[in-house]
Structure 1
Amino acid sequence: MFGADKGTPNLLEGKKLSIGIVQARFNEGITDALYAACHGELLKLGVVEKHIVHVKVPGALEVPVALQAMAERDDFDALIALGCIIRGETYHFELVANESGSAVTRLALDYQVPIANAILTVENQEQAVARQEVNGREAARVAVEMAHVIENIG
């Protein structure tokens, strides 16, 4: 799959990886739970605590700016975006969801760094609560796996 000389790596082994996490503070109860689940899963996967860098920003639109700063440092094997956008009564939900999502994708492509996007886009608080732990854990797993995939391409 990755070449005979490299063997078949354990794609969920995190002990040699450095991971950056950017967490939006807006809807902080949800994003704190996302972070707790994500951080806990990274540790379970073997990522060393000192190799996890966690920063908080005001909201989902600010997440890509911090991710870009991390990507430019070239110190990280993968990045994780955490946030929560809950639909309101105005067009603002669509703007924030679309712009933050496309910016995260563009950064991953431009910098060729895996970014697990766990910015929840939900209709209400109940949907956010139902997804916070699962999506936090899944973001950690995606980041670790994709770090290995990108490392082993070629």
Structure 2
Amino acid sequence: MANAEQHFILPRATFDSSVKILIVRAPYYKDISDDLLAGATTEIESVGGSWELEDVPGALEIPTAIGIAERLSNFDGYVALGCVIRGETTHYETVCNDSSRAIQLLGLQGLCIGNGILTVENRKQAESRANVDDQNKGSGAAAAALHLIALSRKWNRQAKNVGFLHDAEEAPVVAAVKDTPNA
């Protein structure tokens, strides 16, 4: 039972300036994805944010579309929405694992993404997780993206130098080499 447990939910993120979110949705199970979309848009609008929607053929295409949008557009964050219901073949594992892994890799590169791709055993579980009056995971994915955007704005600054890269002032180049005997 989903309602039997109590969960802590962070307070809603707040912003000094508006946020722009791209929602990438795989509408294979259109009624489920419509409910996820309703939850996501409500959450985004509750903080004064704006959103655009792009539909893609399936869950595997969601990370690719997000990657393209990141390179070619100006969104603050992304929400991935879709539903994968276990079938009779191993295709379920491929779609679930690869879409999730690709979204996580994009996130580790600095993109603010909320993953609302349902991975469920049956339609009843999907309907429960998409229910706009209950635990709508579209809303949760949008809230996650918004929290990550808030963190990225909080920590926004010049990129740090990593590894052997350095500023010339921090590690001045030696001006002259002393005469040293050869070994």
TM-score with structure 1 setting the length: 0.85
- Distance in 1 of aligned mates of 2:57 and 2:36: 15
- Distance in 1 of aligned mates of 2:127 and 2:12: 28
Higher normalized helix content (fraction of residues): 1
Aligned partner (choices 112, 115, 135) of residue 113 of structure 2? 115
- Distance in 1 of aligned mates of 2:111 and 2:102: 13
Bigger-Rg structure (1/2) = 2
Residue 103 (structure 2) pairs with residue 104 (structure 1) = yes
- Distance in 2 of aligned mates of 1:83 and 1:42: 17
**Does the residue aligned with 1:120 lie in a helix, a strand or coil?**
strand
Partner of 1:76: 75
Report if aligned partners of 1:13, 1:46 keep a CA contact under 8 Å in 2.
Answer: no
Paired positions, count: 141
**Does the residue aligned with 1:140 lie in a helix, a strand or coil?**
helix
Unaligned runs of 5+ in 2: 1-10, 158-183
Highest RCO, 1 vs 2 (Cα 8 Å, sep ≥ 6): 1
Partner of 1:54: 53
- Distance in 2 of aligned mates of 1:140 and 1:99: 21
Partner of 2:14: 13
Displacement after TM superposition at 1:11 (Å): 6.0
RMSD: 1.6
TM-score with structure 2 setting the length: 0.72
- Distance in 1 of aligned mates of 2:68 and 2:127: 29
- Hey, which bits of structure 1, 4+ residues long, moved more than 4 A? none
